Amino acid sequence: MVWNWQQPDWPRFQWDRARLEAAEKLFLVSGGVFVGTVRHLVKEELDQFTIEAMSTEAVTTSEIEGEILDRASVQSSLRKQLGLATDERRIRPAERGIAEMMVDLYRSFAEPLSEEMLFRWHRMVMRGSRNLRDVGRYRTGADAMQVVSGAIGEPRVHFEAPPSARVPSEMKRFISWFGRSAPGGEEPLTTLTRAGIAHLYFESIHPFEDGNGRIGRAIAEKALAQTLGQPTLTALAATILARRKSYYEALEAANKENKITRWLMWFAGVAIEAQRRTIVLVEFLIDKTKLLDRLKGLLNERQGKALLRMFREGPEGFRGGLSAGEYSNMTGASPATATRDLADLVEKGALVREGERRHARYRLSVPLRLVTHVVLTERGDLAEQ
């Protein structure tokens, strides 16, 4: 197999700009919607949105790589680093490290990409790892850097990166390209195109011994934020996780040639879907605040606890709806008390009941906003699945 970096036109990527034009325009328009929506958040809501969005990205970008993190610990670490009130729970190095990278990305999105920044992110992402030789620097091993799957005796090679000796020069060229292609750079690119190329380009070099996926997605986020002029907090990793199989398939296909229109179309669909997820989260938090403000002083402690627990499930709601039994487990209420509390919440407009008797389920009265998959057609039009 001849990989993209082994071909004579590397890294002169080629793509059909016309097929991305509609997506590029939509992303910028929606970016304005996001900025306008965020302006309706008071400080407490903005802090909550920032923590929710950053922790979701931290947890999901790690889950894509098979690492399961504790969301509460990640949020606690984020709050501490952002100077917000938090608990004193013990946080593992992995949760603290990914939270540190997310905060660093959030604060330094406008700064030029540099080796020092990448090395700093790598030390953060690899915090607690004890089986790596090269932490906070490019890989130096003599063995081929391969992405493989399958049994040990019969591995399937999905990609092989450039040898370690080539990495420093390849990364110098990549960092230079990232600067030239930025808004105001010598060769500026449109938003989604630059972010999509940045991710693919970086992953093709695969400069680190481990952590390339997490850092590559952070670079894509940085590219999006630089065009919009502020941290996007876009749910990029969460959306990629929902499409993990097609993500790896799209990357694998793009690693074989330098004509990358299909990769950029796939990435554009994901980025627009991720942006919609982020806007939905902001609107959900606004609805939450309005509802809780309206019910202030009208709920008992059990009811307040249950509503907050339901809100923690996010815009798509409590899976399957809340049952009276789940309310009892959540609050410690007896069955009779749970029934009275839930009926009262329905009467006050906090919950909506579906079904009757033992089949009754309760949902928050705020709108449920589901985000469908977004894809680009061959012509470059957007379609939802």
Q: According to the model, what pLDDT value does residue 244 have?
A: 95
Torsion from C-alpha of 166, 120, 49, 37, nearest 10 degrees:
-60
CA nearest to 364, candidates 284, 269, 263: 284
Map out the domains of the chain with their CATH numbers: 4-282 (1.10.3290.10), 300-385 (1.10.10.10)
pLDDT beneath 70: ranges in the chain: 316, 368, 370, 385
- Contact predicate 206/145, CB 8 Å: yes
> Which amino acid type is present at position 323?
S
Q: According to the model, what pLDDT value does residue 373 have?
A: 79
Q: What is the distance between the alpha carbons of residues 187 and 181, in angstroms, rounded to a whole number? A: 5
Q: What is the distance between the alpha carbons of residues 215 and 180, in angstroms, rounded to a whole number? A: 20
Q: According to the model, what pLDDT value does residue 152 have?
A: 73
- Contact predicate 67/94, CB 8 Å: yes
Q: What is the distance between the alpha carbons of residues 76 and 333, in angstroms, rounded to a whole number? A: 29
Q: According to the model, what pLDDT value does residue 299 have?
A: 95
> Which amino acid type is present at position 191?
T
pLDDT digits (tens, 9 = 90+) for 185-213: 999 999 999 999 999 999 999 999 999 99
Q: 364: part of which helix (H) or strand (E)? A: strand 361-364
| DSSP output for 130-180 | -S-S-SSS----SS--EEEES-SSS-EEEEEPPPGGGHHHHHHHHHHHHHH
Q: What is the distance between the alpha carbons of residues 163 and 140, in angstroms, rounded to a whole number? A: 9
The secondary structure of 4-30, three-state, reads HHHCCCCCCCECCHHHHHHHHHHHHHH
Q: According to the model, what pLDDT value does residue 319 have?
A: 74
Q: What is the distance between the alpha carbons of residues 332 and 306, in angstroms, rounded to a whole number? A: 11
Q: According to the model, what pLDDT value does residue 226 have?
A: 96
